[in-house]
Structure 1
Amino acid sequence: MVRLLKRKGNLIKLHPAQILVLGFGSLILVGTLLLMLPISTVEEGRGLNFIDALFEATSAVCVTGLAVVDTGTTFTLFGQIVLLVLIQFGGWGIMTIAIFMFIILGKKIGLKERLLLQDSLNVVTLSGVVHLVLRIIRITLIVEGLCALILAIRWSFEMTWGKAIYYGIFHSISSFNNAGFGLEPDSLSKWVGDPTINIVITFLFITGGIGFTVILDIWQKKSLRKLSLHSKIALLVTLILNIVGTLIILVSEFHNPATIGKLGLEDKLWASYFQGVVPRTAGFNTIDIGQMTLSSKVFTMVLMFIGASSGSTGGGIKVTTFAIIIFAFWAVLTNRDDVNIFKRRISWRLVNKSLSIGVIAIFFIFIIFFLLTYTEKADMSSILFETISAFGTVGLSAGLTGDLTPVGRVLITIMMFIGRLGPLTMAFALLVKKNDAKVRYAEEKILIG
């Protein structure tokens, strides 16, 4: 799992996590430079300044959706296409793009590339990873294409066909990759009660958030009983969180005149459903997030922290990680030696890894949140909401994003980068020293709890 690179006669060891960091960083840098070009913005003769361009490029590559400028009015067609390409590449992942290019150029894909791809896609085995790349790209293009067509037909009733097709393509790519970038200043608020928009957009980001391995597992097995344990957990926890999220938003916002209080019952249900399922993955909104009740914001932060499934385009600690932590707690409370899920035993090594992901995530969130309290003049809940949204690569904002200071924008940029790569990957990239000592010390107990 270690790649060796030659440089001036010396061997430099790069962990796969470091290579992924460099890959995403390079893509972000290219995107930043492109968005700084005058041709990228509507205002002639000026592109975005470096910090804003870096923020937007990072948000696109990390499929977050937080924006310091309005996408529809700030960027030209060229700038918007740059964002779309960054979103698509960011959703696929660096190694998926690299392997696809290898295939196109007819180059041999060696063991090192397969190991990196395994890390990038977060799959258990090396078997069939290259074939998996082709399936991922094929599924993405088919789903995005069909949904873009449906959205274009719907939007053709209120705009020209050319604009409707473009809106369909843009929002389809943005949704499936869980990016949350939209072309309207208020996201999708004007279609809060529109069944077609609600169903298609949520289908896209829920499908993208479930993960490619789960999608392929469903396609191949065609039976819930035959699905892998990973797929069963991902689907069940996703379903539970979506239902609970919808109910919480409906109850908490039912009488709030600033969100859904003034809507009819049917529109309230659509708004609650959309805003209940969107926090774990995409950054679209059909109601004003900043006007939601504090209880809704707190629960939204929990959903953003949990995030989507492993191997998906979403962020967070992942639903499978969350499930393992919950079942591990239950095993401890019931004094059991094993962690069992669906009559299958989970190794304590995997449990420890899940707990580590949760702890490292909280650590990174706390550090960025703490620093933001120095740089931003805003209430604590808004700062924390923005921080967790960036970590979960969700893109929802309580209204703070556009008012961030330059330092604050850099901090949120760092948080989005950490969230896309994952807390454990970032930890591996920063702490690469391996302890090869063969000494095992004597065990001693300490008091805990």
Structure 2
Amino acid sequence: MWDKTHMAGCGAPFGGTFLESGNSSQLNQLMARAAAKKKRGKPHSPTRLIVGSFLGVILGGTLLLLLPFSTPDGIGVLDALFTATSATCVTGLVVRDTYQGFTGFGQGVIICLIQIGGLGLVTLASFFALALRRRASFHSMKLASESINTSDVAEARKLLFVVMKLAALFEGVGALLLAPVFVPEYGPQGICISVFLAISAFCNAGFDVLGREGAYASLTNYTANWYVQAVIMFLIIAGGLGFLVWHDLAQWRRTKHLTLHTKVVLFCTVLLIVGGTLSFAFLEWYNPVTLGGMGVGDKLVNSLFQSVSARTAGFNTVDLAGMSTITKCMMCILMFIGAAPGGTGGGIKVTTFSVILVTVASVATGREDAVIFRRKIDKKTVYRALSIAVLSLFAVILATLFVFFNTGANCGPLDSLFESVSAFATVGLSVGATANMEPLAKAITMVTMFVGRVGPVSLAISLAAPRKEGRFDVLPEGKISVG
């Protein structure tokens, strides 16, 4: 039988010998460190930090736009917040023309917000930290991998440099290609216009500084300029494909293999662009407000441009308010689907849409698993895709109701839906409802843009209370009839 005497006789650490040996201070230090670690808790989740970074950029941009030298005649807090939100979420919906309503400084703030929002503050911060040779912890690299939408933490370091190089390359080439058009017309200011449009197009933002040609003109004065439209479309597609796809394409010469993700993105992108082009041309061919007065070549090019732009870019070459009802519905579908994950575009993403379609097809044909290109899709991916689609639909429907009841009488249900889908998918195309929104509708539209940019599932995860580790609920299986 053990007692205190036996324990003491065994020496440290079983009895008083340990305490009497002068090591009590070490024990106290260990206990203090453990208490401090428990008090500090675990670092915030990457998702919550990314969401917080977008909020911080929006608030900072709002304060800068409120400065007296950002606008020629001042701006209200709500309009400044709306503009900052739209720029950071790379949406493109505006309550005042970017050129006429802001000074050169204000336009500079907007394009910086677009660049930060398009690439992500976390991505930029992680890149510069690595570029300065600072050591990155595992948590930092996990955060970076979440920001660039890759699950491979080991590849995050390399992909960060790929993201920055591709962004600089495409935006630089785009600006150089646009300069021969705008520099001869506007002189030195043409350089700024070219750079602004290149960044805005690559980031799928839809902002422009062509208001000198007319307020809210966008590219409506370039319906016959195929060159400008081709450059803008190239930048939109480049940003919308996603950095993972470009990285995979760059490796193809060595690997002779494309990932399933890349195959799905490329296939769906081509399918949606071609389908959108043919649909827009067919539906608007004789509409005098849109394509009716153009030649055959201009009709086809402008239809192609609107199909590409509806994939979250927000530029327009025709009067969107004059589109037919069925065309607006078709555009809503294109906007809602959006671009590819890991890029600068929005929407529920083409991969999400593809997973849902093949899941429905699998159920309809009696298969147990969703299959794409002879590859089985993990059930967690299917569940996430369904969650994204349902939450996105809920957000759009709720936003549509608020916009409809808090906008001018000329804004009907379809126009309200169009504006809400455009906000959620961070597209920026407008049929004129944004300019007539009441304060509540503007506030709801801002929330919709933010939810669309960070993702409904990511936002829900960031707001949810963290689950306790080690807790697993074993529940009995239940059965329910559906269909």
* Band the TM-score falls in, shorter-chain normalisation: over 0.9
Which of 267, 290, 307 is the matching residue for 1:259?
Answer: 290
CA distance in 2, matches of 1:127, 1:335: 39
Greater shift in the superposed pair: 247-256 or 162-171 = 162-171
Deviation, structure 1 residue 105: 3.9
Instruction: Give SS of 2:204's match.
Output: coil
For the 8 Å contact 1:224–1:232, the answer to whether it is kept is no
Whether the 8 Å CA contact 1:15–1:432 is kept in 2: the answer is no
2:148, 2:160 within 8 Å by CA — same for their partners in 1?
no
Query: Hey, what does 1:306 align to over in structure 2?
Result: 337
Q: The residue matched to 1:394 in structure 2 has which SS?
A: coil
**Aligned-pair distance for 1:13?**
6.0
What displacement does 1:9 show? 5.0
1:270 to 275, 291, 301: 301
Question: 2-side partners of 1:75 and 1:187: how far apart?
Answer: 16
Match of 1:329 among 335, 360, 379: 360
Match of 1:179 in 2: 205
TM-fit CA distance, 1:15: 2.6
Deviations 1:101-148 (A, max 9, x none): 312443221111111112111112112212211121111111111110
Closer/same/farther in 2, CA of residues 410 and 334 from structure 1, 3 Å limit: same
Whole-angstrom distance in 1 between the partners of 2:318 and 2:467: 48
Q: 1:151 aligns with which of 147, 154, 178?
A: 178
Identity of matched residues, %: 39
Corresponding position of 2:394:
363
1:177, distance to aligned residue in structure 2 (A) = 0.4
Q: 1:164 aligns with which of 190, 210, 222?
A: 190
- Root-mean-square deviation (CA, aligned residues, Å) is 1.8
Give me the whole-angstrom Cα distance separating, in 2, the residues matched to 1:85 and 1:362.
31
Q: Which residue matches 1:106?
A: 133
**Residues 1:379 and 2:412 are matched in the alignment:** yes
Work out the CA distance in 2 between the residues paired with 1:387 and 1:223. Answer: 44
Query: Relative to structure 2, which stretch is displaced further, 373-382 or 205-214?
Result: 373-382
Native 8 Å contact 2:407 2:433 kept in 1: no
Amino acid at match of 2:209: L
Tell me the SS of whatever aligns to 2:48: helix
| 1:387 positional shift | 0.7
Residue 180 of structure 1 aligns with an amino acid whose one-letter code is G
Report the equivalent of 1:400: 433
Q: Which residue of 1 aligns with 2:95?
A: 68
Q: Distance in 1 between matches of 2:65 and 2:186?
A: 27
**1:202-226 residue CA offsets vs partner (Å, 9 max, x unmatched):** 0001110000010111111148961
The residue aligned with 2:59 is 29
Give a deviation string over 1:350-400, Cα, whole Å, max 9, x none: 111111111111122222222223322321111111111011000000111
Map residues 23-62 of structure 1 onto 2, 5 A cutoff: 23-43=53-73, 46=74, 48-62=75-89
Counterpart AA for 2:238: T
Q: Structure 2: which 5+ residue stretches go unaligned?
A: 1-35, 211-215
Q: What residue is the counterpart of 2:473 in the other structure?
A: 439
Residue 165 of structure 2 is matched in structure 1 by 138
User: Which is further off, 106-115 or 243-252?
Assistant: 106-115
SS of 1:74's equivalent in the other structure is coil
Which residue identity is paired with 1:17? T
Would you say the 8 A contact 1:206–1:281 is kept in 2? no
Unpaired stretches in structure 1, ≥5 consecutive residues: 1-5
In structure 2, give the amino acid aligned to 1:26.
Answer: G
CA distance in structure 1 between the aligned counterparts of 2:44 and 2:405, rounded to whole angstroms: 35
Distance 1:148 1:345, change over 3 A: same
1:93 to 120, 130, 138: 120
Q: What SS does the aligned partner of 2:69 have?
A: helix
Distance 1:34 1:415 in 2: 22
Shift of residue 437 of structure 1? Answer: 4.0
Distance 2:466 2:164 in 1: 35
Secondary structure in 2 matching 1:385: helix
SS in structure 1 of the partner of residue 440 of structure 2: helix
Report if aligned partners of 1:189, 1:285 keep a CA contact under 8 Å in 2. Answer: yes
| 1:444 CA drift (Å) | 2.4
Q: 1:367 to 1:129 in 2, by over 3 A?
A: same
Indicate how the Cα distance of structure 1 residues 103 and 37 shifts in structure 2: closer, same or farther if over 3 A, else same: same
Of the two, which has the highest radius of gyration?
2
Residue 284 (1) aligns with residue 310 (2): no
Structure 2 equivalent of residue 238 of structure 1: 269
Distance in 2 (CA, whole Å) between partners of 1:29 and 1:7 is: 32
TM-score (norm 2): 0.88
Deviates more, 1:243-252 or 1:337-346: 337-346
Q: For 1:280, what is the secondary structure of its paired residue? A: coil
> Structure 2: how far apart are the matches of 1:224 and 1:131?
17
SS for the counterpart of 1:38 is coil
User: Residues 223, 366 of structure 1: CA spacing in aligned structure 2 closer, same or farther, 3 A cutoff?
Assistant: farther
CA distance in structure 1 between the partners assigned to 2:402 and 2:435 by the alignment: 18
Q: Secondary structure at the match of 1:434?
A: coil
Q: Distance in 2 between matches of 1:309 and 1:336?
A: 27
The answer to whether the Cα contact below 8 Å between 1:148 and 1:168 also exists between their aligned partners in 2 is: yes
Deviation at 1:328, TM superposition (A): 0.6
- Asked whether the equivalents of residues 264 and 351 of structure 2 are also in contact (C-alpha less than 8 Å), the reply is yes
Q: Output the amino acid matched with 1:22.
A: G
Residue equivalent to 2:227:
196
- The aligned amino acid for 1:67 is V
Following the alignment from structure 2 to structure 1, what is the Cα–Cα distance between the partners of residues 392 and 429? 18
Q: How many equivalent residue pairs?
A: 440
Residue of structure 1 in register with 2:12 after alignment: none
Q: TM-score, normalised to structure 1's length?
A: 0.94
Structure 2 CA distance, aligned partners of 1:267 and 1:345?
A: 43
Aligned equivalents of 1:105, 1:42: Cα separation in 2:
39
